[in-house]
């Protein structure tokens, strides 16, 4: 991934007195740091400009310069750095340290043997300028890590009261710088979050605050800017650093117009902004939606990508659409989403009711209406084992007892005819039935075409109704 190019990365150590670290110990320090970064001692060469106070070495394609002999100049730039956020919080004694400084040690690292600014114009094409600048993320991370390790070791060789990391304007006490430089994730050193309050006529609790990620151009190629928002400052600082880490994982910045967030309830829109050629372009982060802070954004379908530790996409989902993984901006996916919406609408709308189905529903309801306080044992058994009448089979109409013809019963038969709340005739003797011939029995036993499919058994209510009718 390309970054905003830099000729050198520099760091200043401020000293209150003129005491120099021995040259041999400085050179050995450079060799040790180079070995930590995979550069063998045989790849490190001491160059002729070196003196007892100044060391100039070429290690694995990087030039390293440590200059101890210069008096402190440019004090005004250091005084301006005191006002950089959050220097005063991290370094309350910054003003005194700058005022008391007498000497400065400059530690620099660059790509190539000769700085690009020293190459004559007529030789730049022959020298291959791309090797003279730090213009890729890999070179930038190696160079800054190399430089941070050099400063930490040098602070043990020579006493200093302040350290100025010039890539982002940080002015830090030596102990804080060491803790940032030795952390596994060095973003706290590489990026200085510069918070600011734009002009606005609002109460303090409602004021908008913005954050600039100073130094982010050397990790992403862009100056990352969180546009003013009412969200807490700590939240914006955290998301800005997470955005830089996400770009590092992807080895590319997130495209213009896309969004990112910790989960689907949070949406931060990304806008790319062009600037002048001598300044890094900007990426503006705008908080559009956050459930945690009550910020409600537009409800549009969003493709959510979840990235793994290696920067690869491990999951792709879509919020606000009926099918995961479809892009509403793609014509084919848009047609699929439209069809899904139609099917979803058809499923939720009530189906039209035909007269036949209405009659069946009425019949089913009427089948559940009669109630009996006593049931003949055989009828009770059949009621628990029979299924429901299939749809489309008409139930026989129920005739209440008052509408039936009264049977001719003797007094004896009337006493034996009691059956719950209903009445039926129980014959005293078995009646003779008509005998059928063998041929008739065979004819009845043969299945008819309509009987090819098994008929559903009658419900318990139909059997009881048929029983009362004497069928």
**Based on the domain organization, do 150 and 241 belong to the same domain?**
no
pLDDT over 90, % of the chain: 46
Residue 27: give the domain boundaries.
Answer: 2-190
Pairwise CA distance, residues 46 & 49, whole Å = 9
Full-model pTM: 0.65
Q: 371 falls in which pLDDT band (50, 70, 90)?
A: very low
Is-contact 2 221, C-beta < 8 A?
Answer: yes
Q: 26 falls in which pLDDT band (50, 70, 90)?
A: very high
The mean pLDDT of 292-315, rounded to a whole number, is 70
Stretch among 144-153, 236-245, 304-313, 408-417 having the lowest mean pLDDT:
408-417
> What kind and span of H or E run contains 35?
helix 23-36
**Based on the domain organization, do 131 and 120 belong to the same domain?**
yes
Q: 174 falls in which pLDDT band (50, 70, 90)?
A: very high
**Based on the domain organization, do 197 and 183 belong to the same domain?**
no
**Do strands 281-290 and 222-229 pair parallel, antiparallel, or not at all (unpaired)?**
parallel
Q: 393 falls in which pLDDT band (50, 70, 90)?
A: very low
Instruction: Select the highest-mean-pLDDT range: 199-208, 232-241, 342-351.
Output: 232-241
Q: Give residue-wise pLDDT tens across range 186-218.
A: 999 999 999 998 887 777 667 899 999 999 999
pLDDT at position 63, please? 94
**What is the four-CA torsion angle of 82, 87, 93, 96, rounded to 10 degrees?**
-10
Is 359 in a helix, a strand, or coil?
Answer: helix
Interhelix angle 377-385/460-468, nearest 10 degrees: 150
Q: Is position 378 within any domain?
A: yes
Stretch among 254-258, 290-294, 365-369 having the lowest mean pLDDT:
365-369
- Per the rule left: phi > 0, alpha: psi between -120 and 50, beta: everything else, 391 is beta
Among 74, 68, 73, residue whose Cα is nearest residue 160: 68
Pairwise CA distance, residues 455 & 451, whole Å = 7
How far is Cα of residue 441 from the mean position of the Cα atoms in its chain?
Answer: 77
Q: Is position 345 within any domain?
A: no
Q: Is position 429 within any domain?
A: no
Among 83, 103, 81, 91, residue whose Cα is nearest residue 18: 103
At which of 280, 298, 316 does a domain end?
298
DSSP secondary structure string for all residues of 150-216: HHHHHHHHS--SEEEETTTTEEE-HHHHHHHHTSSSTHHHH-EEEEE--S--S-GGG--EEEEEETT
Interior angle at CA 341, CA 338 and CA 345, nearest 5: 145
pLDDT of 59 > 80? The answer is yes
**Based on the domain organization, do 109 and 136 belong to the same domain?**
yes
pLDDT at position 171, please? 97
**Based on the domain organization, do 176 and 255 belong to the same domain?**
no
The mean pLDDT of 65-81, rounded to a whole number, is 88
pLDDT of 395 > 50? The answer is no
Q: 256 falls in which pLDDT band (50, 70, 90)?
A: very high
At which of 164, 190, 216 does a domain end?
190
**Based on the domain organization, do 101 and 229 belong to the same domain?**
no
Q: 422 falls in which pLDDT band (50, 70, 90)?
A: very low
Residue 372 or 223, more confident: 223
Q: Is position 351 within any domain?
A: no
Q: 73 falls in which pLDDT band (50, 70, 90)?
A: confident
**Based on the domain organization, do 156 and 177 belong to the same domain?**
yes
pLDDT at position 270, please? 94
pLDDT at position 408, please? 54
Q: Is position 184 within any domain?
A: yes
State how many domains the chain has: 3
**Based on the domain organization, do 180 and 49 belong to the same domain?**
yes
pLDDT of 272 > 70? The answer is yes
Is 63 in a helix, a strand, or coil?
Answer: strand
The mean pLDDT of 403-407, rounded to a whole number, is 55
pLDDT of 115 > 80? The answer is no
Pairwise CA distance, residues 389 & 392, whole Å = 9
Q: Which residue has the tokens 């919080």?
A: 89
**Based on the domain organization, do 184 and 198 belong to the same domain?**
no
């Amino acid at each position: 991934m390309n970054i905003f190019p830099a000729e050198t990365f520099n760091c200043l150590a401020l000293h209150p007195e003129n005491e120099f670290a021995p040259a041999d110990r400085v050179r050995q320090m450079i060799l040790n740091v180079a070995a930590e970064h995979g550069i063998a001692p045989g790849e490190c060469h001491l160059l002729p400009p070196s003196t007892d106070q100044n060391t100039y070495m070429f290690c694995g394609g990087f030039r390293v310069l440590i200059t101890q002999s210069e008096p402190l100049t440019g004090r005004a730039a250091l005084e301006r750095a005191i006002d950089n956020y959050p220097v005063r919080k991290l370094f309350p004694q910054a003003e005194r340290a700058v005022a008391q400084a007498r000497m400065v040690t400059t530690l620099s690292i660059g790509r190539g043997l000769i700085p690009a600014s020293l190459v004559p114009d007529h030789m730049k094409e022959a020298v291959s300028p791309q090797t003279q600048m730090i213009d890729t993320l890999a070179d930038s991370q190696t160079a800054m890590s190399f430089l941070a390790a050099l400063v930490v070791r040098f602070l043990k060789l020579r006493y200093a009261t302040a350290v100025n990391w010039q890539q982002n304007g940080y002015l830090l006490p030596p102990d804080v710088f060491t803790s940032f430089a030795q952390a596994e994730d060095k973003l706290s050193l590489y990026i200085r979050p510069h918070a600011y309050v734009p002009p606005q006529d609002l109460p303090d609790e409602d004021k908008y605050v913005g954050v600039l990620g100073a130094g982010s151009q050397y990790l992403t190629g862009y100056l990352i800017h969180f546009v003013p928002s009412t969200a807490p400052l700590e939240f914006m600082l955290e998301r800005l650093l997470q955005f830089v880490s996400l770009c590092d994982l992807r080895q590319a910045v997130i495209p213009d117009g896309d969004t990112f967030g910790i989960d689907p309830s949070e949406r931060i829109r990304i806008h790319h902004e062009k600037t002048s050629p001598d300044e890094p372009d900007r990426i503006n982060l705008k908080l559009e939606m956050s459930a945690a802070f009550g910020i409600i954004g537009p409800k549009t379908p969003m493709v959510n990508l979840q990235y793994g530790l290696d920067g690869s996409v491990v999951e792709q989902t879509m919020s606000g659409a009926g099918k995961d993984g479809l892009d509403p901006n793609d014509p084919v996916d848009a047609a699929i989403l439209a069809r899904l919406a139609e099917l979803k609408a058809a499923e939720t709308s009530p189906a039209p009711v035909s007269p036949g189905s209405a009659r069946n529903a009425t019949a089913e309801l009427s089948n559940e209406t009669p109630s009996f306080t006593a049931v003949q044992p055989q009828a009770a058994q059949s009621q628990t084992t029979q299924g429901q009448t299939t749809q489309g089979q008409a139930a026989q109409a129920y005739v209440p007892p008052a509408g039936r013809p009264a049977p001719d019963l003797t007094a004896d038969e009337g006493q034996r005819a009691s059956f719950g709340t209903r009445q039926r005739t129980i014959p005293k003797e078995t009646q003779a039935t008509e005998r059928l011939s063998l041929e008739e029995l065979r004819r009845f036993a043969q299945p008819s075409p309509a009987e090819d499919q098994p008929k559903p058994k009658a419900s318990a209510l139909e059997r009881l109704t048929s029983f009362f009718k004497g069928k």
